[in-house]
C-alpha cells in the first residue's frame, strides 16, 4: 500500500481548512505554498466551501498609532463580560512606518479597498495573505480632486471586482449631473457614468454591498448602483418618519438602521428588506440596545454599524460626556438571541480609529493581460510600478 495520498485528495483536504491553518502550511513545501497562495482556483473553491458551510472567520481591522500597522479583532469569538483585547497585528504592505496614513474604505470577499492620505492611488489588499494591487489612476480624472465617496463589490457572473469612485474638488461641488468613475478588475480600466440627479451623501460615503449592488443614503432615500447593469436606481426607506442613518447587510438582505429612539431610549431599530427591491418587504427585525445607562442617558454623538452577523450586531459608538470635551469610541456587540438584546463592550478608546470588517480568504485580484504581457499582483514586499 502506498504511504502517500494522491495530490487531488490532498488538495480537497486543504480546500476545507481555515485560512489560519493554510497560511501555516505554506511552510511545508514550495508546492504547497504555490497551491495555497498562487492558485486562484484553489482560493475560489476554498472560499465557496467556507461560505456554503458559513465558516469564514470575520475580523475587524483597526488602525493604530503606527501608520503601517493595524490590529485585528476576531468577531467570531464568543461574547465576554470584560472588554476584549486585540487578537493579532497586521502590517500594511504598501506604506512604511512614518509614511502616509492608510485610509480604510470598505471590503468585499476578504479584500479591502484602501487609499493613502493625500495620495491619489487606491489599493485592493488582502490582509490575510498580504497580497495587494495598486489600481491605475483614471486617465480622465479632473485635476486637484480627492476621493469623496466610493463603493466596492463583486459580480459573480463575470468574476469581476468593481470599484465606484466619486472624485471632487470639495464636498460642496455641484451634484446635479455629476459623473462617477467605475473600475473593472477584469478589464483593468476606469470608465465614467452619470450619477442620479440630486444625488449626494447624507451620512456615509462608503457604499453598502448587497445583492451585487452598492447602496448609499441621501436626503431622498436609498441610491443603489447595479454592478451588472452599471446603472443607478432609487429605492424606498423602510420608514418615512424615522431617522435612518446607516445601511448594512444581514446575510443576503439589505438592512437599515433607524436611530429615532437613540436619544430617548438608547436603542436603534434594525430593518431588513426580505425581498430585494420590494418596498413592502421591509421588516423590523430587532431593537438594538446601544446604551447600558437608561437612568443616566449618555450623550451619544453617533452609532454606526460595523458588521451584522447572525447572532450579533457590532456597532461603533461615539460618546461625549455632558459638559466634557473628550470623545470616547466604543466598539460594542449587541446580541440578537435574547428577548432584550444585551450589550457587550469590546473596546473603549479615547482616540479615533479607522476600522473595517473583512473575512479571512485567499482571494486576490486576477492579474490582467496588459499590452501582450501578464500584469502583476503584488506580494507583501513588492511594489507595482505600473
Contact 216, 149 (CB under 8 A): yes
Residue 293 has pLDDT above 70, yes or no: no
Fill in the DSSP letter of residue 103: E
Instruction: Tell me whether strands 58-63 and 69-74 are parallel, antiparallel or unpaired.
Output: antiparallel
Mean pLDDT of all residues in 30-43: 95
Fill in the DSSP letter of residue 339: S
Confidence band, pLDDT 50/70/90 cuts, at residue 290: confident
State how far the Cα of 145 lies from the Cα of 108, in Å rounded to an integer.
Answer: 25
Mean pLDDT of all residues in 12-26: 96
CA 20, 26, 32: angle at the middle one, nearest 5? Answer: 125
Alpha helix positions (H), the chain: 7-14, 19-25, 30-38, 40-52, 262-265
Residue % of the chain over a pLDDT of 90: 51
State how far the Cα of 166 lies from the Cα of 15, in Å rounded to an integer.
Answer: 38
C-beta atoms surrounding 291 within 10 Å: 21
C-beta atoms surrounding 149 within 10 Å: 21
State how far the Cα of 90 lies from the Cα of 22, in Å rounded to an integer.
Answer: 17
State how far the Cα of 191 lies from the Cα of 164, in Å rounded to an integer.
Answer: 10
Confidence band, pLDDT 50/70/90 cuts, at residue 358: very high
pLDDT at 101: 85
**Comparison of pLDDT for 266 and 297, the residue scoring more:** 266
pLDDT at 291: 81
Mean pLDDT of all residues in 101-128: 91
Confidence band, pLDDT 50/70/90 cuts, at residue 178: confident
Mean pLDDT of all residues in 159-174: 80
Residue 155 has pLDDT above 80, yes or no: yes
How much is the pTM? 0.88
C-beta atoms surrounding 75 within 10 Å: 21
Contact 360, 110 (CB under 8 A): yes
Mean pLDDT of all residues in 123-143: 91
211-243, pLDDT tens digit by residue?
999 999 988 899 999 999 999 999 999 988 889
Which residues, in sequence order, are CB contacts of 322 under 8 Å at separation 6+?
A: 299
Which of 70, 59, 72 has the alpha carbon at shortest distance from 93? 70
DSSP SS3 for 357:
strand
Mean pLDDT of all residues in 161-190: 81
pLDDT at 320: 77
Residue 352 has pLDDT above 70, yes or no: no
Contact 322, 299 (CB under 8 A): yes
Amino acid at each position: 500500500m502506498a504511504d502517500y495520498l494522491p495530490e487531488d485528495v490532498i488538495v480537497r483536504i486543504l480546500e476545507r481548512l481555515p485560512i489560519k491553518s493554510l497560511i501555516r502550511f505554506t511552510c511545508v513545501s514550495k508546492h504547497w505554498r504555490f497551491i495555497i497562495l498562487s492558485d486562484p482556483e484553489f482560493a475560489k473553491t476554498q472560499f465557496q466551501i467556507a461560505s456554503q458551510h458559513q465558516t469564514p472567520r470575520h475580523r475587524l481591522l483597526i488602525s493604530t498609532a503606527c501608520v503601517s500597522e493595524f490590529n485585528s479583532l476576531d468577531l467570531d469569538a464568543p461574547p465576554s463580560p470584560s472588554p476584549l483585547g486585540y487578537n493579532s497585528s497586521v502590517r500594511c504592505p504598501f506604506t512604511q512606518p512614518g509614511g502616509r496614513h492608510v485610509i480604510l474604505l470598505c471590503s468585499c470577499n476578504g479584500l479591502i479597498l484602501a487609499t493613502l492620505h493625500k495620495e491619489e492611488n487606491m489599493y485592493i489588499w488582502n490582509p490575510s495573505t498580504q497580497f495587494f494591487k495598486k489600481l491605475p489612476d483614471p486617465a480622465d480624472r479632473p485635476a486637484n480632486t480627492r476621493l469623496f465617496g466610493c463603493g466596492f463589490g463583486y459580480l459573480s457572473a463575470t468574476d469581476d471586482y468593481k470599484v465606484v469612485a466619486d472624485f471632487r474638488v470639495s464636498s460642496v461641488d455641484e451634484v446635479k449631473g455629476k459623473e462617477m468613475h467605475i473600475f473593472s478588475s477584469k478589464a483593468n480600466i476606469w470608465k465614467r457614468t452619470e450619477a442620479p440627479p440630486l444625488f449626494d451623501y447624507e451620512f456615509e460615503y462608503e457604499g453598502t454591498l448587497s445583492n451585487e449592488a452598492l447602496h448609499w443614503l441621501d436626503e431622498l432615500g436609498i441610491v443603489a448602483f447595479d454592478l451588472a447593469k452599471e446603472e443607478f436606481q432609487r429605492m424606498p426607506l423602510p420608514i418615512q418618519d424615522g431617522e435612518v442613518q446607516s445601511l448594512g447587510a444581514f446575510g443576503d438582505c439589505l438592512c437599515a438602521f433607524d436611530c429615532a429612539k437613540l436619544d430617548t431610549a438608547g436603542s436603534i431599530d434594525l430593518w431588513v428588506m426580505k425581498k430585494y427591491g420590494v418596498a413592502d418587504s421591509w421588516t423590523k427585525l430587532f431593537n438594538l440596545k446601544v446604551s447600558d445607562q437608561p437612568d443616566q442617558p449618555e450623550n451619544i454623538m453617533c452609532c454606526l454599524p460595523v458588521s451584522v452577523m447572525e447572532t450579533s450586531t457590532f456597532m461603533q459608538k461615539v460618546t461625549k460626556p455632558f459638559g466634557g470635551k473628550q470623545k470616547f469610541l466604543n466598539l460594542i456587540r449587541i446580541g440578537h438571541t435574547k428577548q432584550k438584546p444585551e450589550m457587550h463592550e469590546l473596546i473603549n478608546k479615547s482616540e479615533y480609529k479607522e476600522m473595517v470588517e473583512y473575512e479571512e480568504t485567499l482571494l486576490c485580484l486576477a492579474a490582467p493581460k496588459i499590452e501582450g504581457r501578464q500584469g502583476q499582483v503584488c506580494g507583501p514586499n513588492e511594489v507595482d510600478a505600473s
